[in-house]
Amino acid sequence: MSQATALEAFCAFFNKLDKSYTQNLYQVYTDDVVFTDPLHHIEGREALERYFQGLYENVTECRFEFHDRLRQGTEACVTWTMRLSHPRLARGRPVLVEGCSRLSFSTDDPRRVCRHRDFFDAGAMLYEHLPILGPTVRVLKRRLGK
């Protein structure tokens, strides 16, 4: 599998991911994967599977539109827009979040990712859409000019 094909397969996998598909993480991640985002640091595919199972438990929709892709050797970056619908966020309406993933593909198995780090605004994804906290976060962002 070429480098570009492995990156495209990884992106396609995320648009299949839901609570019933998490057992297929072995297709794109190594056993010892390290996953980091603004809210979590997870080590190992089994722990990542548990995390995704919990994350997707009540999700109505989670789809990614992938934009720029760059891969050089074992390193890759991909920018994306996530469309997330969850009954506890924004009264169930879709929330759009811009982000970027930095990926390291394994040298032993170049089809699989061994390091995955997501960069996104956690406030835009979560805090701004919570019933009590949301208005406060939005006011603070306006005051700070963001």
pTM of the model: 0.82
Helix/strand/coil for 24? helix
Please state the separation of Cα 139 from the chain's center in Å: 26
Region of residue 98 (phi > 0: left; psi between -120 and 50: alpha; otherwise: beta): beta
Domains parsed from the chain with CATH numbers: 3-121 (3.10.450.50)
d(CA 46, CA 117): 17
The pLDDT of residue 136 is: 60
Longest dimension (CA), the chain: 49
| pLDDT tens-digit readout, 49-105 | 999 998 888 889 999 999 999 999 999 999 999 998 888 777 788 989 999 999 999
Q: Residue 146 pLDDT > 80, yes or no?
A: no
